[in-house]
Structure 1
Amino acid sequence: MASRIKVVNDVGELVTIFHAADTDVKRKLLLDLSTGWITMQQIEEKYGADGKKALLYLDKIKLIETQWTTGSSGPEKAYHTYYSSVQINLIGSMSDLSDIIYATTMSYDELTNYENRIISMMENNSIFIGDVIDRLGISQTFLKGIINRSSILQIKGYKIEKVADI
């Protein structure tokens, strides 16, 4: 495999890097994915539902790649880390940094509360970023931190959408 470097140059991306391995399951899964190709069946057998949720998050933040393999039950997708290393290169205001640190360290319950509030605002499974900022009274940087940390929401263009299952 070629050596690929994930370059982080947006302060909002720090949240994704810090939460790529913020639980024991995510950490172990990330290590497994970095050493070889693993199928969903293998992930579910080893890690259960938490493993699938961790994989969905790693896929959402674009840290894994897929390929089709032939298993005993026919063709199935296998997963592997896309990058072999990370380079962090950014400059951010103290305001942005404080928003990102808060989004990174807030409790799971606080994150779930924000996710639920954003989902309740959605029509047709999406909402404009600006509408969420106005209705929640938060900064764009903080909102990006919440979405980057979330395993169920993602930013597509100028909208926030629910993440599709793998």
Structure 2
Amino acid sequence: MVNRIKVVNDVGELVTIFHAADTDVKRKLLLDLSTGWITMPQIDEKYGVEGKKALLYLDKIKMVESQWITGDKGPEKAYHTYYTNIQINLIGSMPDLADIIYATTLTEKELEDYENKIKAMMVDGGVFIGTASENLNISQTLLKGIINRSSVLYLKGYRIEMENNV
């Protein structure tokens, strides 16, 4: 097995790391994915809808890799963790750290409220991060933390867009 290390250099990436295993299902799925290849039907059988959503989030934050394997019903896509270790190397200002901690501790309802407000701002499939930050009256660091935590939003350069599979 190849030893891959994810290096976290940006304080905003902490949100994705903290939320990779923030529920019991995500934690167990992440542990299963770190020990072998698992197909979507196996994830669905063991973890249900929450497991599928967790896998989509892990895929969004690039924590899993996939490959096609031959199963009982023909070719199936299987998933496995991409990294074996995480190294955190960063320096952040106190305001940035406060924003990241806040984004990390938002309730699911608060996160959904932010997602809905951001989606409402989207024109032609997206909105620029500066515009959204201004309209929401929050820092760009907090906004990036919210996007990193979201299962439905992602950053493409300086533009916030919707995930294609949502």
- Whether 2:31 is the aligned partner of 1:31: answer yes
Q: Deviations over 1:123-165 (max 9, x none)?
A: 2331111110111111110000000111111111111111122
Whole-Å Cα distance in 2 between the matches of residues 158 and 90 of structure 1?
21
Q: Indicate the SS of the match to 2:22.
A: coil
Structure 1: 5+ residue runs without aligned partners? none
Deviation at 1:26, TM superposition (A): 0.4
Percent identical: 72
Deviation at 1:76, TM superposition (A): 1.4
Q: Indicate the SS of the match to 1:165.
A: coil
Which aligned segments of 4 or more residues in structure 1 are displaced greater than 2 angstroms? none
Deviation at 1:113, TM superposition (A): 0.5
Alignment correspondent of 1:150: 150
The alignment's TM-score, normalised by the length of structure 2, stands at 0.97
Deviation at 1:31, TM superposition (A): 0.3
Q: Indicate the SS of the match to 1:112.
A: helix
Q: Deviations over 1:44-86 (max 9, x none)?
A: 1111110110001000000000101111111111000000011
Alignment correspondent of 2:71: 71
Q: Which amino acid aligns with 2:63?
A: L
Deviation at 1:108, TM superposition (A): 1.2
Whole-Å Cα distance in 1 between the matches of residues 164 and 51 of structure 2?
16
Deviation at 1:106, TM superposition (A): 1.4
Alignment correspondent of 2:115: 115
Alignment correspondent of 2:5: 5
Q: Which amino acid aligns with 1:137?
A: N
Moved more, 121-130 or 154-163: 121-130
Counterparts in 2 of 1:39-50, with a 5 A limit?
39-50=39-50
Alignment correspondent of 1:103: 103
Alignment correspondent of 2:139: 139
* Matched length: 166
Whole-Å Cα distance in 2 between the matches of residues 78 and 162 of structure 1?
24
Structure 2: 5+ residue runs without aligned partners? none
- Whether 2:145 is the aligned partner of 1:129: answer no
Q: Which amino acid aligns with 1:121?
A: M
Alignment correspondent of 1:88: 88
The alignment's TM-score, normalised by the length of structure 1, stands at 0.97
- RMSD after superposition: 1.1
